[in-house]
Amino acid sequence: MNSQEILEKLDRIEDLPTLPVIAMEVNEMLRDYNTSIKELSQTIQKDQAMVPKILKLVNSAFFGFRSKISDISRAVVVLGFNSVRNVIISVSIIDAFSGKKALEGFDIKAFWSHSVAVAVTSKYLAGETRLQAPEDAFTGGLLHDIGKVVLALYFQDLFRKVWASTRENKLSFYDAENREIPITHAQIGAHLARKWQLPQGLVDTINYHHAVSKSADDLNMLMIVHVADIIVNSHMSDSESEPNFSAIYPDAASIMGPQLETVSDWFPEVSEEIQSACEFFLEDR
């Protein structure tokens, strides 16, 4: 199979998760600047499973509001439109992929913990550098590796080959993909994001997070997620070795130089936020 055939096979998979109607609708509504709080709240309320999840999030330590928020329109006001959209997309996608039987050896929980860690770190970098709306960066971080789950669920022979190679040849997952199979999790994830009609900046971020491309629709989001991924990988691994930032794309390394230089000062605090985000997004899954 070449990469085109793999993507065609992906298009034919019948039980491939789709983005729930609500996420599509909200995504669509927020492209229209005239959408009102009332309209957005009414749309969300149509999805009765989503309502308690959003309320739980606004009332969680992750946001840390002092007074209890008990209705959706109030939640929309305090969170803001973009946050609401991001929560809905995030929760929907995590839900869509849980409950499926993944490959033995692929730890889906560890996968989502990594994704949440990159999401929170991206949000932090976006806030510090002001390159990007922090909430958008969060979603980019959360979804950057989504192609890995697709590989582990639907292309198990390819996944196994890559997995074995990471261990035998001490390669990163991405390097092993390049060596062993005709496609990468980045390309697969981008294909899926396109199918889901997610914003082009998000598609590009997924597509190029290991190999930054200047042609990306939203270069800032791409660079933030790319850097956050490398920070998380070097800080949350078990190794005691010094973080290795040599893989960072030079432009991104210079733009985020101040953050990279001080990473050991701020990362512990971000880690705590990662902890509380994991509690929200991953509990009961």
**What is the binding site for Fe ion (CB under 5 A)?**
145, 229
Minimum CB separation of residue 118 from Fe ion in Å reads: 6
Closest CB to Fe ion among residues 135, 145: 145
CB of 263 to Fe ion, least distance (A): 17
Q: How far is CA 48 from CA 51, 73, 75, in A?
A: 5, 14, 15
- Taking the complex as a whole, how short is the minimal distance between the CB of residue 179 and Fe ion, in angstroms? 15
Q: Toward Fe ion, which CB reaches closer, 145 or 218?
A: 145
CA 31 to chain centre: 20
Instruction: Please give the backbone phi and psi of residue 93, each rounded to the nearest 5 degrees, phi first.
Output: -75, -40
If phi over 0 gives left and psi between -120 and 50 gives alpha, with beta otherwise, what is residue 81?
alpha
The amino acid that residue 266 corresponds to is W
**CB closer to Fe ion out of 26 and 248:** 248
CB contact set of 264 (below 8 Å; sequence gap of 6+): none
Residue 261 beta carbon to Fe ion: minimum distance, rounded to whole angstroms:
22
How does DSSP assign 96-124, residue by residue? HHTTS---TT--HHHHHHHHHHHHHHHHH
Give the nearer residue to Fe ion in terms of CB position, either 79 or 117. Answer: 117
Shortest Å distance, C-beta 229 to Fe ion: 4
Pick between residue 50 and residue 143 the one whose CB is nearest to Fe ion. 143
Separation CA 252–CA 56 (nearest Å) = 35
Q: How far is Cα 175 from Cα 166, in angstroms, rounded to an integer?
A: 8
Give whichever of 62 and 208 is closer to Fe ion, judged by the CB atom.
208
Tally Cβ neighbours within 10 Å of residue 74: 16
Q: Output the smallest distance, CB 147 to Fe ion, in A.
A: 8
Q: Which is nearer to Fe ion, 184 or 220 (CB)?
A: 184
In Å, what is the CA distance from 172 to each residue of 90, 115, 181?
26, 16, 14
Which of 47/145 has CB closer to Fe ion? 145
Closest CB 209 distance from Fe ion, rounded Å? 6
How far apart are CB 35 and Fe ion at their closest, in Å? 32
Rounded to whole angstroms, the Cα distance separating 59 from 75 reads 9
Q: Given its phi and psi angles, is residue 253 left (phi above 0), alpha (psi -120 to 50 degrees) or beta?
A: alpha
Residue 162 CB-density burial (10 A; 0-12 exposed, 13-18 middle, 19+ buried): buried
